[in-house]
Amino acid sequence: MTMTTTVTSDPLMERARALKLHGLLAHRAEIADTRWIEPLIRREEDERARRGLERRLRNAHLGRFKPLADFDWSWPKQCDREAVEELMRLGFLEEAANAVLVGPNGVGKSTIARNIAHQAVLAGHSVLFTNAASMLNELAAREGDNALRRRLALHARPRLLAIDEIGYLSYSNRHADLLFEIVSRRYEEKSTLITTNRPFAEWNEVFPNASCVVSLVDRLVHHAEIIPIEGESFRLKEAKERSEKRKKQRAARSAKSRNTQPTDD
């Protein structure tokens, strides 16, 4: 008769193994009853989590942005808040799906994209946020196959690549080919988040004469959540509000000055 031995795993040692604390594991029998092991492991986990978060935030290049909690959902004429909040839950990353935010200048596309990217960083994912013009111009300027391959790999590697502001400039065929190369490397393996002020029907104007545009769009929209955002510019709205506030402040100062001027008896 065959005897089966059941090995009970030690959760504490499993945590130590995940941290690669080989010295501790080698002497587990000697220190099994000591009380300092769990606090040591917990502090090591916390410190590595903190350093990992700092590293991911640094590598993401998110810059400053307004939290989505402060986003004025009543301002856009069209914006599917539920769809945005679904993206914030990051399920699309598990599916290696893409997301595209389409709308005119100033309606909050970049703010939403940065918040999604930030949420992905907090969840432990590798992220890179980049401006389309900066990325494509830098890639196009790379001299030598090795330098270009390394840079393409940098953009292909993150779990989420966010490319901001496609459509504000026109690009050459080489730029189009480089973007197609990045999207193709990530296709159905990792998620890409795009913001653009142009509907896909107008991307031939963004990449004039580029033969890969149809294939580029096809790979982007396959398994993608496309969210149109319509409305006037938040920046124009805020500029008008600041102007109106300053106008009221000047009027108040003027009234106060008139009231405090001495009068002749």
Per-residue model confidence (pLDDT) at position 119: 98
Beta bridge partners, 102, equal: 196, 228
For every residue of the chain, DSSP letters joined together read ----PPPPP-HHHHHHHHTT-HHHHHTHHHHTT-SSHHHHHHHHHHHHHHHHHHHHHHHHT--S---GGG--TTSSSB--HHHHHHHHTTHHHHTT-EEEEE--TTSSHHHHHHHHHHHHHHTT--EEEEEHHHHHHHHHH--SHHHHHHHHHHHHSSSEEEEEEETSS---HHHHHHHHHHHHHHTTTSEEEEEESS-GGGHHHHSTT-TTHHHHHHHHHTTEEEEE-BSS-HHHHHHHHHHHHHHHHHHHHHHHHHHHS----
The answer to whether residue 137 sits within a structural domain is: yes
- Burial degree of 166 (CB within 10 A; 0-12, 13-18, 19+): buried
139 contacts 168 by C-beta, under 8 angstroms: no
The answer to whether residue 227 sits within a structural domain is: yes
156 contacts 178 by C-beta, under 8 angstroms: no
Measured distance CA(86)–CA(116) in Å, rounded: 10
Which tens digit of pLDDT belongs to each residue from 146-198? 999 999 999 999 999 999 999 999 999 999 999 999 999 999 999 999 999 99
Per-residue model confidence (pLDDT) at position 27: 75
Per-residue model confidence (pLDDT) at position 124: 96
182 contacts 156 by C-beta, under 8 angstroms: yes
The answer to whether residue 176 sits within a structural domain is: yes
Looking at the structure of the chain, the number of domains it has is: 1
The answer to whether residue 19 sits within a structural domain is: no
For the chain, how far is it from start to end, CA to CA, in angstroms?
Answer: 121
Using CA atoms, how far residue 180 sits from 38, 123, 174, in Å, is 49, 28, 10
The answer to whether residue 147 sits within a structural domain is: yes
Measured distance CA(156)–CA(184) in Å, rounded: 9
Per-residue model confidence (pLDDT) at position 164: 98
- Domain range spanning residue 178? 60-234
The answer to whether residue 28 sits within a structural domain is: no
The answer to whether residue 75 sits within a structural domain is: yes
The answer to whether residue 7 sits within a structural domain is: no
Q: What are the pLDDT tens digits along the chain (265 aa)?
A: 444 434 447 887 888 888 878 877 777 777 766 777 777 778 877 787 888 899 999 999 999 999 999 999 999 999 999 999 999 999 999 999 999 999 999 999 999 999 999 999 999 999 999 999 999 999 999 878 899 999 999 999 999 999 999 999 999 999 999 999 999 999 999 999 999 999 999 999 999 989 999 999 999 999 999 999 999 887 666 677 777 778 788 877 877 777 776 656 5
* CATH number (domain holding residue 230): 3.40.50.300
